Structure 1
């Protein structure tokens, strides 16, 4: 009797996992589709002025592959690049000057704001300084882009055309991340897949929808909207600044759009699992608002959705429980099927799709490690800086 009850409980858990996947497949904004690209657009009669703001801290390794692509933009209107050197120790600022002298193109200003005051992340303090410099030019748009992002020559032109045609206050593209090492192939497409699952791109672009997110590597922002939303002052403590920016813009009545990029690529390498682990764990617990309850819910949710299907198949086969094995296999099939479009987007082999439970398990461990590092006082650490929780900063103040 006890064994039968045990098997029955496993069947119900497997069935619940399958139900969760059917709901995700049909009711979560079709997050798994990868056809959300820059919307229909036409060239404006007069091209507005744009200032490009690039915060950079110790980026000498990637700058030669990214900065020349910005300087080479074939934008028909007035455009200028502001690179803000956030206390680099590797000669980032000098290298930027040298690259501009070598490649020419758009005008480049390199400046530094000094160390950020308490309550500011280094990146957002640099963005604030860059926007302050840009305001002297009275641009209509700001392009906020990271120092590891390379743009095709028509990237800025297409972003502005999309913003103007669609009436968007912010247009953001999820840069295509590097997938060259074995660990990058396993982990990186899943990173974008999980992001889209949390923030379905289709919902973000709908007027009146509550879902808000952006990809910090490439955000074209109307300057007037940035001022109205108090960007970046309103989000100065945000470690996950792109989502915070999108929420601030929507909160100020702005219309935003987010999709996958065709013209924007990240050139930053994450060759080892350790590199990818640091990239995820440094901000995962901040995403959960440093809440133990949300952490527990996330771990249980990841286990139910991603780990139960393969475990149910193994248990069902071992225990001779066909319902358990069938529910697990169907859930695993739906999971792998929804992952295939993202693998195709990244031009990766489809045999990686059934391995998604293993990748999800890695993300689960990274999330738990993020919380552990936070409580050890090493949370949200990046390039020599560690950021406290916003409420901790407020308490100290």
Structure 2
């Protein structure tokens, strides 16, 4: 009887998940939704993009055995298009965004709904808790969770509950999503930040709570990690160009670092030329910049990378520069309006 009463009084929740070529992770992500301890009604809507790795067959199998799972076809294949399709097909007043790489803890929906009710927020989110299984993935996870890796924002390293610029994933009041026009489909990455910008601009509140912690599975190899961060950087540069007053200084640190290291290296090369021709090689001082950066990477690896063993420590020495340089180069390309050419080849 208590369960039936909760079903009648608690708001229903709609889990929405865009899925594209995620055969490795999507089952665990969906299972984490079905195992939530939230006692209100719920539904799961998967926006299935044109996958080529067996994801389509797996998702159809999941929907066939559980009527609470629905599949909608996302012909465009992009994340924002899939989210909007799933939201439009949903019917409950609370929308919980889920990523196919994420695993929600059993109390996620319950805590999120309680927080929305108690704070009156339009969007509630928490911490992206990156967890790897291989030495490479563990190194990536450590980089994500370190202040030098992704900038030390609350959604990566945690912090006190309160209003925030943006949060990981998000649990939304559905009507407020409709009020501000849903996700911008012309923004392939960073669409959550842009949506939260509109929510806040319209007088709404985006709320961070450390009680919400979502397990995130990092990319499994260096190639896919590099693609991810080039694409992410491109779109962050695009957003910085579109909304200059809404972007903090921290977004400009990686591109500034890339420019400084590259210029320093080139100046150092010029110093070698000076030495060869018999001139005073004062330009060798340019090497101080890349050397300083290398020392920062090594020091960071000692602090964070060594916690998961020697192999993860070695991977951290590679992963951290990969994140910095790919993101920074992508940012510069996006900021210089080259994102259309680049994102066509960087994938989801």
TM-score, length-normalised on structure 2?
A: 0.68
> How far 1:143 moved relative to its partner?
0.6
> How far 1:199 moved relative to its partner?
4.0
RMSD: 4.3
SS at match of 1:59: coil
Counterparts of residues 1-397 of structure 1 (less than 5 Å): 46-102=9-65, 104=66, 107-115=68-76, 122-134=78-90, 137=91, 139-193=92-146, 194=148, 197=151, 199-200=153-154, 206-207=162-163, 212-215=165-168, 218-233=169-184, 236-258=186-208, 263-267=213-217, 270-289=219-238, 298-301=254-257, 348=308, 360-370=320-330, 371=332, 377-379=341-343, 381-383=345-347
Offset from partner CA, 1:263-311 (integer Å, 9 cap, x none): 52224x5232222212211221321228899998644347889xx9xxx
Query: Could you say if the C-alpha distance between residues 353 and 262 of structure 1 is closer, same or farther in structure 2, counting changes exceeding 3 Å?
Result: farther
Q: Contact conserved, 1:238 with 1:244, CA < 8 A, in 2?
A: no
> How far 1:170 moved relative to its partner?
0.7
> How far 1:378 moved relative to its partner?
3.0
CA distance in 2, matches of 1:258, 1:298: 25
Query: Could you say if the C-alpha distance between residues 303 and 356 of structure 1 is closer, same or farther in structure 2, counting changes exceeding 3 Å?
Result: farther
> How far 1:85 moved relative to its partner?
0.9
> How far 1:353 moved relative to its partner?
9.3
CA distance in 1, matches of 2:341, 2:40: 47
TM-score, length-normalised on structure 1?
A: 0.61
CA distance in 2, matches of 1:302, 1:336: 18
SS at match of 2:36: coil
Aligned residue-pair number:
298
SS at match of 1:377: helix
Query: Could you say if the C-alpha distance between residues 287 and 350 of structure 1 is closer, same or farther in structure 2, counting changes exceeding 3 Å?
Result: farther
> Which structure 1 segments of 5+ residues have no match?
1-42, 117-121, 309-323, 386-397
SS at match of 1:156: helix
Query: Could you say if the C-alpha distance between residues 204 and 231 of structure 1 is closer, same or farther in structure 2, counting changes exceeding 3 Å?
Result: farther
Query: Could you say if the C-alpha distance between residues 200 and 110 of structure 1 is closer, same or farther in structure 2, counting changes exceeding 3 Å?
Result: closer
CA distance in 2, matches of 1:360, 1:219: 27
Q: Contact conserved, 2:136 with 2:315, CA < 8 A, in 1?
A: no
Query: Could you say if the C-alpha distance between residues 205 and 197 of structure 1 is closer, same or farther in structure 2, counting changes exceeding 3 Å?
Result: farther
SS at match of 1:111: strand
Offset from partner CA, 1:32-86 (integer Å, 9 cap, x none): xxxxxxxxxxx99931111111111122222222212212323211111111112
